Amino acid sequence: MPPTLTCYLKAEDGLVFRALAEAVYHLLQAQTIDSLSISDLVKRAGVSRASFYRHFADKYDLVRAMHRRALEGSLLRWFQGVPFQQAVEDTWQIFTQHKRFYRNALISTDVNALGNYIFDETYSFYWEMLRLRGVTMDKVQSRELRQYCFGAVALLSEWILGEMGEPLEEYMKASIRGLPSFVGDCLK
């Protein structure tokens, strides 16, 4: 069995974060984030509600924090010199290894849900990448990048929910080919 997403946590995240992350990871193997109660989560983690709320605003905040740590161990490593293709593949490996967790987290339509967070993080990643390469987007480019990110997250959700018949490799290739040209040019 692959490790849970807690393998991406940092020492400074502490024991409460780790306990809650393990608990939500296991609970999301069998239920959706929207059906998960804080009571069930803290009971499984062995922590108090007060401890939970000292660390997180809500259950969606916990899942977003876990995903952020996973990104730090994959896609965001591009900022440390990992080739783009490798960073993308590492990210998709995480989605593949933890597909049930992501499926049950992404199925939510709550405004705080993971899908909205992934959109924001994807857009921020490309914005920062462009900035570091000396590219300042105009309004049209910003809109084009937002549309790309929105579509990429929608397709990611479809793939994770099992609604796409394509193998992962085909989706990854299409995702990279679909980048706006001004972004793709920065990756060369």
Q: Comparing C-alpha atoms, which of 125, 181, 182, 184 is closest to residue 153?
A: 125
Task: Return contacts of 53-57, CB within 8 angstroms, 24+ apart.
Answer: 54/16, 55/16, 55/17, 55/20, 56/20, 57/112
Average the pLDDT over 11-37 and give the result: 95
Average the pLDDT over 50-55 and give the result: 96
Residue 121 corresponds to which tokens in the numbers above? Answer: 């993080």
Distance CA 45, CA 55 (A): 13
User: Which residue matches tokens 């996973």?
Assistant: 70
Would you tell me how many other CB atoms lie within 10 Å of the CB of residue 111? 7
pLDDT of residue 168: 77
Average the pLDDT over 124-128 and give the result: 96
pLDDT of residue 3: 73
Instruction: Of 4-8, 9-13, 76-80, 184-188, give the range with the top mean pLDDT.
Output: 76-80
Distance CA 180, CA 105 (A): 28
Q: Comparing C-alpha atoms, which of 143, 141, 128, 16 is closest to residue 78?
A: 128
Residue 146, Cβ density class (10 Å: 0-12 exposed, 13-18 middle, ≥19 buried): middle
